[in-house]
Amino acid sequence: MKEIAEGVERFRREAFPARAELFERLAGTHRPSALFISCSDARVVPELITQREPGELFVVRTAGNLVPPYSAAADGVAASIEYAVSVLGVADVIVCGHSGCGAMTALASGGGLGHLPAVAHWLHHADAAKARTDAGEHRSDERVDALVRDNVLGQLANLRTHPSVARALALHRVTLHGWVYDIRSGAVQALDAAAGRFVALTA
Ligand code: ZN
């Protein structure tokens, strides 16, 4: 904890003054260009990966970058999506999975969650992704990677069930993107929707 408090001090002393103009502008303006949905995993840092400044990404992070499908009992994730799309008017929504995801590893191995009832319950939002992976032919050492990719597809499908997203898609005001970030290499693969596969992200 000491390191974290020291980090805040260093931020106030060094990083904040260096961006004083930016923070002054941001104090009265919130216009992010994208909603970035990633895993809560500490190794996945959206602003670092995309080299964005404060104010540029509206970020939702959940275990396994899962997006529950819309329901009448809408939750905090649904509220954040609705606000980003309908109020802030983000032009892009990115669902970003990652290599070595603990949630996907647990799901792929299919057990050991008896003492983690909240995690087990939450991971049901990836049931369709797991079914897709189970139906494919994957070497055992490729199963988690396949599930990470199938899960991005599954969460993009869940995202489309949210009325705010459905409306923005119908009006061509938003574009959905599926990414997978590789922790070891720093590379990002993006879903090529037409080809139905992930390819190296190009600017
Ligand atoms: Zn993860």
CB atoms within 10 A of CB 101: 26
Dist. CA 69–CA 109, nearest whole Å: 24
Is 96 designated active site? no
Catalytic residue from among 10, 12, 43, 167: 43
Dist. CA 85–CA 92, nearest whole Å: 9
Is 43 designated active site? yes
Residue 57 DSSP label: E
Q: In a 3-state reduction of DSSP, which class is residue 160? A: helix
For residue 146, pLDDT over 80 is answered with: yes
Dist. CA 5–CA 194, nearest whole Å: 47
**pLDDT of 41-87, one tens digit each?**
999 999 999 999 999 999 999 999 999 999 988 799 999 999 999 99
**pLDDT of 182-195, one tens digit each?**
999 999 999 999 99
Model pTM score: 0.95
Is 134 designated active site? no
Domain boundaries along the sequence of the chain: 31-200
Q: Are 171 and 160 in contact (CB under 8 A)?
A: no
Q: Are 93 and 142 in contact (CB under 8 A)?
A: no
Distance (angstroms) between ligand 1 centre and the Cα of 31 equals 27
Which homologous superfamily is 31-200 in?
Carbonic anhydrase (3.40.1050.10)
Distance (angstroms) between ligand 1 centre and the Cα of 64 equals 4
Strands 188-192 and 197-200: antiparallel
Is 177 designated active site? no
Q: Are 95 and 179 in contact (CB under 8 A)?
A: yes
Is 41 designated active site? yes
